Structure 1
């Protein structure tokens, strides 16, 4: 634990823990809605925001929040009106966002590969005090919204038509999910990077679904697993000198594989043995007739 005597490692740990609990809380709704990959798409759009911030010599994080939120709202409105399918909307996010981001970063004065890689794959150990405050404030807002509005958001994600008939503001809740996804992706940019944040949204939820029943239990377990992966990932990165964001995601996937194997073995052991069928044409002993 000597690595946590350094201030930059403490900031890295706190930032990772905030993302570790916030991303799965939001990801539970996205998985329920079968939109697991939307984090990737918004991450690509956030890269365009980074490019805008660098080009205008403004804060890349704030610019990324604004641009990704606008992109997420636009995609949600397109999906709602049915003008294009969900996978087509995600494709627009993926390709348009990454292309625009690379072009804008290249046009800016800060176009080095190191700067671009830090946004794509995270640079947690360079998190400043101001970055940590931004992550903490925005992460807390997202987490409060996900927990306070859980019944309404679950209803929308489970059955949108039923939620609309029940009188819930479906459009407003859908836009809230879109904006909070954009905010979560952006604040996680420093922790795990724009290309890896979707994994932290989805993998802990997929792991929790194997051992829990019910939406609330899945969300609680996913948040706990996210915290575990984030904290352990930062420690492994400090000890082994690896990339913190990648270490967090690799540990989350490792836990998923362990739980998947463990539940499969336990299910097989609990399965009752199937009696062997008697040969065709033979009579069971208890009904053999006396000659």
Structure 2
């Protein structure tokens, strides 16, 4: 049977294609603001929420999303508290997320195998509820970024200038954190919490390597994300390999090719 005709694979392609739009897009903003590690942090916190969801028998992605949103507010609060050491907020919240996850793991040993699918990704098990969640997140992210593209551009490149110009910096910082939390929570079942930061940062690294303007970078990160996810899924499906790992390795290969292409262009 051709794998492309299998219903589970078609659901995987749809979910992957949607996340390949939003994750690289949000990753670009994070990388430009030097907050690339926030992806790992929120992913670990989301896993704690997923584990709690299994423990109390509530839709795990919803609980993971709630945890990620709360963590995004906490990160922003700590960033304002420790302005000189902003990265400290990420380390603190990540530590808390790992601690909670380990606690919930020990409380519910019977569901550890289910939670592990969120650690390493399980895109082939996406159901229609998962697809609806991913679709809603995609619409929210794209609508918000489109509506506030000028403000986000100014905030990303010069937060102090944005504040001086009267832009509500606190509001937009929280908004970006919440959007990132939404994307990460929707992504962890696709590539897994341990690999989700790759989907956020590597397309951004490729785009920034090749692009000559911010608009070009936005377009490139989405194109690269789509190429890696869809091609990675097809390769994994045909070779019976792990889809999350295949996608990330393909992203790394594209990054290497991007760096080589830039060097050749300079030469």
Distance 2:143 2:59 in 1: 25
Aligned mates of 2:49, 2:84 — CA distance in 1: 24
Which runs of no fewer than 5 residues in structure 1 stay unpaired? 269-291
2:88 paired with 1:88: yes
Deviation at 1:121, TM superposition (A): 1.2
Q: Is the Cα–Cα contact under 8 Å of residues 54 and 109 in structure 1 kept in the other structure?
A: no
Higher Cα Rg, which structure: 1
After superposition, the C-alpha distances for 1:76-99 in whole angstroms (9 at most, x for unaligned) are 111023367222211112222122
Report Cα offsets for 1:264-286 as digits up to 9, x if no partner: 12312xxxxxxxxxxxxxxxxxx
Residue 127 of structure 1: aligned partner: 126
Q: Is the 8 A contact 1:205 1:218 kept in 2?
A: yes
Counterpart check, 1:196 vs 2:219: no
SS at match of 1:85: coil
Work out whether residues 44 and 93 of structure 1, in 8 Å CA contact, stay in contact via their aligned partners in 2.
no
- Cα shift at 1:240: 0.9
Number of aligned residue pairs? 267
Distance in 1 (alpha carbons) for counterparts of 2:194 and 2:153: 27
Which residue of the partner structure matches residue 208 of structure 1? 207
Q: Report the equivalent of 1:17.
A: 17
In structure 2, C-alpha distance between the alignment counterparts of 1:105 and 1:18, rounded to whole Å: 30
Q: How does the TM-score come out when normalised to structure 1?
A: 0.88
Q: Structure 2 CA distance, aligned partners of 1:67 and 1:149?
A: 25
Q: Specify the alignment match of 1:104 in structure 2.
A: 104
Check the 8 A contact 2:79/2:87 in 1, yes or no: no
CA distance in 1, matches of 2:93, 2:247: 25
What are the Cα deviations for residues 217-239 of structure 1, in whole angstroms up to 9, with x where unaligned?
Answer: 10111111101111101101101
**1:244: Cα distance to partner?**
1.1
| Aligned partner of residue 210 in structure 2, secondary structure | coil
For residue 200 of structure 1, give the secondary structure of its aligned residue in structure 2: helix
Partner of 1:167: 166
Distance 1:58 1:242 in 2: 30
Measured after TM superposition, the shift of residue 102 of structure 1 is 2.1
Hey, what's the Cα distance between the residues in 2 that align with 1:182 and 1:63?
A: 12
Shift of 1:105: 2.7
Question: Quick check: which one's helix share is greater?
Answer: 2
Residue 50 (structure 2) aligns with:
50
**Structure 2: 5+ residue stretches without partners:** none
1:254-269 to structure 2, matched below 5 A, reads: 254-268=253-267
If the length of structure 2 is used for normalisation, what is the TM-score? 0.96
Match status 1:141 vs 2:158: no
Aligned to 2:230: 231
In structure 2, what is the Cα distance between the partners aligned to 1:126 and 1:258?
A: 32
Tell me if structure 2 keeps the 8 A contact 1:229–1:248. yes
1:218 alignment counterpart: 217
Q: Which deviations, in whole Å up to 9, do the C-alpha atoms of 1:205-256 show, x marking residues without a partner? A: 1111122111111011111110111110110110111111111111111011
Give the match for residue 28 of structure 1.
Answer: 28
Distance in 1, Cα, partners of 2:93 & 2:242:
26
2:49–2:60 Cα contact (<8 Å) kept: yes
Q: Deviations over 1:44-76 (max 9, x none)?
A: 111111122122111111001111100111111
